[in-house]
Structure 1
Amino acid sequence: MKVTIKDIAKETGLSTATVSKYLNNIKIQENNRILIEAAIKKLGYRPNRSAQILRSKKTRTIGILISDLGNYFWGSVIGIISHYFASQQYTVITRSYSFDMELEKNVIRDIVSQNFEGLIMLPFNNCDHYYQLLQNAGIPVIILDQLPTMIQDYPVDCVLSDNYGGSALLAEHLFQNGHTNICILDQAINSHTIEVRIQAVKDVYSRHGINLETCFPCAEPFVFKETKDVIQENKQRLYQLLNAPDPPTAVFFTNYISAMGGLSAVNLLGLNVPDDISLVCFDNDPLFRAMHTSMTCVAQDLTSIGIRASELLMQRISGDYSNFPVTEIINVEFHSGKSVRNLHAGR
């Protein structure tokens, strides 16, 4: 026999109105919440989501929009967001636009037409302003990993890692180990994240009186595209640089994708890390655990990113915009591996 909210009310001695408030995520007294949750567990109550939607005129659906469903890096963030909202009785749907901005716009319009209650998205780049289509429709949106250039005109909540601080730590580590002839691999046009990481490295070396642009200029920037293409492009770039008459002593990978391409080039040339070439990376990818020499890197706190984005979105869905807009900077963690050779040793 199907358990109803009347059964829960009878079990707890509370009114059906109080039980209904709890089931619709309306705040109630703490002692009543405890009674209701105990009754739900005891009776095995399962809410009728279709009926809830019809009564409330809300879909209780949350979207996650990313560029590439094949990009495993963001899998843990998607999992954390999904778990958070599932625990709040929301359905979570993940969509992709496959690095196609026109498709992205169509997907967002589709999300608007389906009356999603909120969206967490990884935009195409920092010039991407399609999130305003959601805001215009009254749908709260949280941006991950970018700071849009249009944020002054179209304010939006953003959650991203401490890109500057983490990159500065890696750059200082390279300098203190004697590396002044370094290569920064991966420059994506219109990426706030990549631009900030590169600027941090340049600033650290500038404070030490070194202009990286004259010592070892960065490669030409490119428009970000599919992951496999970026990996191949970085493989070719580093292969050429390491074959040059005056190769760099160290490489700064701006993210795990550039590292995947760069490591392919290092392996192809048969170079030893760190004796022949030193490496650091902004990201701590599972791939690095398979390396004979542990990678010196900074790790993004993907758990905190997912939780904070979820909390912010839930706050907006509830109608609380008291601190809007928020830009949350999540701390990163420095991992001192063995991929950097100390050039001062033995002098």
Structure 2
Amino acid sequence: MTHVHRADYHVPEQKEQKQKKEQNTRDRQGPEKGQPEYRYHDDTAQRRMSKREWEKDRKKSVAGRVVAVITIVLTVAGIVVSVIEDHGPEISSWVDTEFGEGEGAAVSEEYQYDPYEYVETSIPKTGESAEYVLSTGHYIVGTHIPEGNYAAETQDTFDTVQVHDNVNGIYLFEYEDKEENCLDDLRMYQGAIVTVGCEDTVTLKTDNGQTGLMEQGIPNPLTETVAIGSGEEKTAGIDFEPGIYDIVASGEIGIVDITVYDEVGEKIKTFSVYLGEDSGNGKEYKYMVLPEKTTIACNDGVALSLTPAETIASEDYLGFYENLY
């Protein structure tokens, strides 16, 4: 009985061990035939699921940004509208001040310069009618011609009439070919300097000449004529007396160079004038003011003769240029 019991006891044990051995063998050999392995396919599916989730998250992120931008734009627009509603008149006023009323380009095109915009006094409408035939040179209103409203008759399209009036703020440079010129409306106040440039003459006409304001002027203290040869330069105060001269050129055409200095020798003005038989300014220049230290030179084309002007307004020669330039 004891032996049988042992046999019965060991048989299940061996059978169990055999089963475990077979199971271990199957585990090492892998899956049985006909039993597919799904591990790879399961990993791919996981990757596909992860990509779809990433795309979904990315789209959500982009959509979120778009919504945020739209929100900001709407917020700013609301603020701008609110400011315009509250401060519209002030903004409109500022725009008009900075850029002009209406469209700036249209305003700029329509604007017309008024040379008499800042003139505060007017010349009496009544006065004497008169005509003055003038050649190239300077003329003082109140000394050579009376105060008045003038119209200029020129003989050439480039004959010029300039008016320089520091007191009334009038600065004109007029000629026939200039668009919208003031040759028919030249307002000349007492003390203004009128400069004419022409080959022959320019005629000034007035119907309200204020002859009652005319000053007699003073006799020119100069008595001697000065000759300046072709290509020569001379200095006032050294080679001839400073003062006011009428310049007459002999020769076909040449350039007269004039440099004006102040009392301490500082240059204050340099200018050139073409004179001669073929010059657009003619052969003569009236009332040329040459203060002390002024140099005058002519090139090889002409020679000059300086003749004392008949009547002068003042012996303050430097003051003339302070008023003119």
Normalized against structure 1, the TM-score is what?
0.21
Give 1 or 2: higher helix fraction.
1
Q: Which structure would you say has the larger Rg?
A: 2
